[in-house]
Amino acid sequence: MRNAIPLVLSAFVAASWAVPAVAAYVEPPSLASKVTAGELPPVDQRLPKVPAVVDLAGNGLEPGSHSGTLRMLMGRVKDTRMMVVYGYARLVGYDRKRNLIPDILESVDVKEGRVFTLRLRPGHRWSDGHPFTSEDFRYFWDEIATDPDMSPGGPPRFLRVDGEFPTFEAIDPTTVRYTWTKPNPFFLPP
């Protein structure tokens, strides 16, 4: 099974998401030899069916390049948490106007601030090629967050309202729902 799936929000996304026409996806040079050797499918076959695409030009930006070395100074053990900032993906992020926007998710539906339905973009995969589905959310909820041996303190704070845990549902392979009896302002802050 996969690692825990925390709902990670990031307020430093500097572009709005759209799906402009893409002539061709760019294969990272570091993976080209694996594609050539047949160890990895081409980039367009590794993407979700409807990938999130950043309209860089429409936002006055231009693409970077694949290269370089990221060096980080870790002065304290606690600083190692910063390593994941450069290599993780978010379920949602924010645009330049601080509007919440889907990233790995295809959509988010919120009713009364207490019922949150999250739909994954079909076709997302883990780095080992296995599908990323609602089963991964179920695993986190049942086997990590609510397991007293794995999480003695219970689910994270953002998954509680006045001490109440949500009802979790895996609706289908790409849809999950969290429902509380009262609004949860911490789950997906506006």
The CATH code of the domain that includes 29 is: 3.90.76.10
| 174 falls within a domain | yes
3-state secondary structure of 184: coil
The reply to whether 54 falls in a domain is yes
* Contact of 119 with 103, CB cutoff 8 Å: no
- Residue 9 pLDDT > 60, yes or no? no
User: Which stretches of the chain are assigned E, i.e. beta strand?
Assistant: 17-18, 53-54, 92-94, 100-102, 105-111, 115-120, 167-172, 175-179
Residue 94 lies in a domain: yes
Examine residue 60 and state whether it is found in any structural domain, yes or no: yes
* Location of structure tokens 């190692």: 80
Q: Is residue 103 a part of any domain in this protein?
A: yes
Whether residue 34 is contained in a domain is answered as yes
> Model confidence over 63-115: pLDDT tens digits?
888 887 877 777 887 777 776 666 677 899 888 888 888 989 999 999 999 99
| Within-domain flag for 2 | no
**Residue 89 and residue 52 in contact, taking contact as beta carbons nearer than 8 Å:** no
Residue type, 124: H
Domain residues for the domain of 79 are: 17-179
- Residues 137-177 have pLDDT tens digits of 999 999 999 999 999 999 999 999 999 999 999 999 999 99
Query: Global pTM?
Result: 0.73
The tally of domains found in the chain comes to: 1
Per-residue model confidence as pLDDT tens digits over 20-70: 445 578 888 888 999 999 998 888 888 888 888 878 888 888 888 888 787
In a domain, 169, yes or no: yes
Please, what's the b/e burial string for 56-88 (b: 16 or more CB within 10 A of its CB; e: otherwise)?
Answer: eeeeeeeeeeeeeeeeeeeeeeeeeeeeeeeee
